[in-house]
Amino acid sequence: MTKNTVNSDVPAQGKMQEKSPEKSPKKAPDNAIVNEFVVRFANTNGTGSASANNMFAKAILRMGIPVSAKNIFPSNIQGMPTWYEVRISEKNYLGRRGGKSEMLVAMNAQSINDDITSVKSGGYLLYDSSRTLFDSQIRADINYLGVPISNICLKEYSDPRQRQLFKNVVYVGALAALLSMDFTLLKGLVRDQFKGKEKLITPNIYALELGYQYANEHFICPLAIHVESRDLINKRILVDGNTAIGLGAVFGGATVTGWYPITPSTSVIEKFASYCQRLRIDPASGKKNYAIVQVEDELAAIGVAIGAGWNGARAFTATSGPGISLMTEFLGLAYFTEIPFVLINVQRAGPSTGMPTRTQQADIIACAYASHGDTKQILLFPDSPHECFELGAQAFDIADQLQTPVIIMSDLDLGMNDHLSEEFVWQDDKAFQKGKVLSAQQLDEVEVFGRYLDVDGDGICYRTLPGTHTEKGAYFNRGTSRNHFAGYTEKSADYVDNMDRLTKKFINAINYLPEPEIQKGKKSAQLGLIFFGTTSHPIMEAIEQLKEHGLSVDTLRIKAFPFHQSIEQFIEEYSFNNKQIFVIEQNRDAQMKSLLVNELQIDPNKLASILNFDGLPITSHFIVQAVLAQLTANQAQQKTG
């Protein structure tokens, strides 16, 4: 086989990008793609690539260009392939696009063969040319950018760890030159990132410069694909959903959490803890206005939340996958005994251990009906960090007002990836809604107290907290059937009365829950798309593409369960006009469709499903292809029929 090195041999096939001295590096090629492409980084996990890749994305953001990043990582600590996909889009298409990427940074010998095939024709492969590529790795239709990254680091650094870590910074420096990034801004970002660790600033900037210089000296910069500064970010922020929920819990007044580590929910609690350390220390005493316990398992985690909720503290826990299964018994207890708390479910690919570091929306049914017996749980479906923060705080009001668990249904994509999101908003004059909790004075005024007396007729009863009153208001909270006064009973009439009241409460719950987001054109559209959570990210792009196919689209984004009436109306309107409605989900079994059909008594044939469950965030390509395929199939059926 022929060996190719970057500085000597030009490969027989493929275009080795080399700069001829007479060409001006500042002149952009005519076929330029500006601010509308995907850069994919192929790394090995545990090599420190994450922070360098993140720095790359953040630099694009600071140039005022909309950007999103997906970390596609293994359930492993060190040595396995990991990818980081940065979408740069001044059209604000920030979901995954699908298809091949315009630029690939190949830093992992293990995955390089597959990585090379994932480059778009005419695209670029930035690789470490310290090792030569094989002939089989040369594609004629892509451009090769060889930077001897390992050799540079070997020469410049003596510490083995530094040699490894700075490789990542060197390629970011090279990209800065190739893509025409604002280098001053990038250096400023390094200073920000290492604030407090000043010793690291100079070597990092030096590594950036090494890559930057090498690229400038050896390639025509910028490439045909590159970035140009814009002012398109406005007030948006780049942040992950788990951070947003953790912060939301601080603002929402959560004080108690029991938790057990599990990917991808762990960072919800870690972020909550780190914000508490900053924002929740009593200024007078220096003591904590919160209590976080890492407990023995998920059973205990939810038990802690329930114990605290019963005792009047705002409490929550976060979990994923198997943790949800373990918590279901307690969810039934909290539903039946009407104890408020918040559960964050950062969904991952199941069943069983499944793919712990891949995303799905496959816990819808398990959570909506969590626990044995007749149970129904309140679900919230945020789609952005902004909403994670908002609902992360609001969920405590909802739980307290409804006296029941509230489950926030996030997913790995939303929770762990950075998303460009509207900034977090808080209104200082908005008071916590603590619901129907009787004070000692109110108890004095009440003639008869019954924990399960439906005084207001809305199915929501008055509760009391331990220690409120010396004479009145005490009751025995129990998972067994009870009468209006919390006394044990096995009388059928009492049992049915209680279950009926719980149904009434659940129906009334929609008054406390966010309405669906409906987007309709002036004229009735040809298609209706129903979706929830992270599926909203590629929707805008999918709609534009469907328009190119002559299809107009209305959309409905579900934000909560139980369902508002407007969802039923939306579906009825379309089916009345004999148009197609798609429910787009990231699971195999069309769980949201099942829930809609079951709860709204809808004819299942009125709803078609688009199901992506490969563990990666759903793409606009996938949605468009699925819609077109289904419509084609329908037409074929009509012809034959």
Partner 1 sequence: MSFIKSKFRHPRLPVNDLGLTYRDYEGALSTLCAGCGHDSITSAIIQACHELSIQPSEVAKLSGIGCSSKAPNYFLNKSHGFNSVHGRMPSVATGANLANQELLYLAMSGDGDSASIGFGQFAHVVRRQLNMVYMVANNGVYGLTKGQLAATADKGVKNKAGELSLFTDIDLCVMALQLGASFVARSFSGDKQQLVPLIKAAMSHKGFAFIDIISPCVTFNNHVGSTRSYDYVHDHITTAAVVDFVPIKTEITSGYHSGESEDVCLHDGSIMRIQKLTDSYDSTNASQAIMEIEQQKQQGKILTGLFYLEPTASDFHEINNTNDTPLNKLTQDALCPGNRVLAGINDSFR
Q: Which of residues 411-430 bind partner 1 (CB under 8 A)?
A: 423-428
Give me the 248-277 binding string for partner 1, x by CB under 8 A, dash otherwise: --xxxx-xx-x-------------------
Contact set for partner 1, span 312-341 (CB under 8 A): 312-315, 329-330, 333
Stretch that binds partner 1, among 5-13, 346-354, 402-410, 460-468 (CB under 8 A): 460-468
What does 340-403 look like in DSSP terms, one character per residue? -EEEEEEE-B-STT-BTTS-----HHHHHT-SSSS---EEE---SHHHHHHHHHHHHHHHHHHT
Round to whole Å and give the CA distance between 611 and 484.
45
Report the site for partner 1 in 428-447 (rule: CB under 8 A): 428, 431-432
Distance separating alpha carbons of residues 298 and 284, to the nearest angstrom: 35
Angstrom CA distances, 360 to 415, 518, 537, stand at 12, 23, 14
Within 278-307, the residues that bind partner 1 by CB under 8 A are: 279-280, 282, 285-291, 293, 295-297, 299-307
CB-nearer residue toward partner 1: 150 or 274 = 274
CB of 62 to partner 1, least distance (A): 7
* Dihedral (CA of 302, 304, 307, 313) sign: negative
Residue 134 sits in the site that holds partner 1 (CB under 8 A): no
Which uninterrupted H or E stretch holds 175?
helix 160-178
CB closer to partner 1, 296 vs 572: 296
Is 398 a binding residue for partner 1 by CB under 8 A? The answer is no
Q: How far is the CB of 305 from partner 1 (least distance, A)?
A: 6
What is 491-551 written as a DSSP string? -HHHHHHHHHHHHHHHHHGGGGSPPPEEE--SSPPSEEEEEEGGGGTTHHHHHHHHHHTT-
**Binding piece for partner 1, criterion CB under 8 A, among 100-108, 132-140, 245-253, 508-516:** 245-253
Say if residues 379 and 416 touch (Cβ distance below 8 Å). Answer: no
- Does residue 231 touch partner 1 according to CB under 8 A? no
If binding is defined by CB under 8 A, does position 517 make contact with partner 1? Answer: no
Distance in Å, CB of 246 to partner 1, minimum: 11
Pairing mode of beta strands 560-561, 405-411 = unpaired
Instruction: Tell me how far apart the terminal alpha carbons of the chain are, to the nearest angstrom.
Output: 59
Shortest separation between residue 196's beta carbon and partner 1, angstroms:
13
Question: Per the structure block, which two tokens stand in for 501?
Answer: 């009241």
Cβ-contact 92, 539 below 8 angstroms: no
Which of 91, 478, 491, 549 forms a contact with partner 1 (CB under 8 A)?
478
Q: Binding to partner 1 by residue 342, rule CB under 8 A? A: no
User: How many residues bind to partner 1 according to rule CB under 8 A?
Assistant: 74
Q: What does the per-residue mask of binding to partner 1 show for 102-131, with x meaning CB under 8 A? A: ------------------------------
Helices (H), 14-73: 49-62
- Shortest gap between Cβ of 324 and partner 1 (angstroms)? 16
**Minimum CB distance to partner 1, residue 623 (Å):** 28
CB of 310 to partner 1, least distance (A): 6
Decide whether 46 or 312 has the Cβ nearer to partner 1: 312
The answer to whether residue 60 forms part of the interface with partner 1 (CB under 8 A) is no
Of 165, 123, 159, 118, the residue nearest 141 (C-alpha) = 123
Q: Does 480 bind partner 1 (CB under 8 A)?
A: yes
Cβ neighbours for 467, distance < 8 A, ≥ 6 positions apart: none
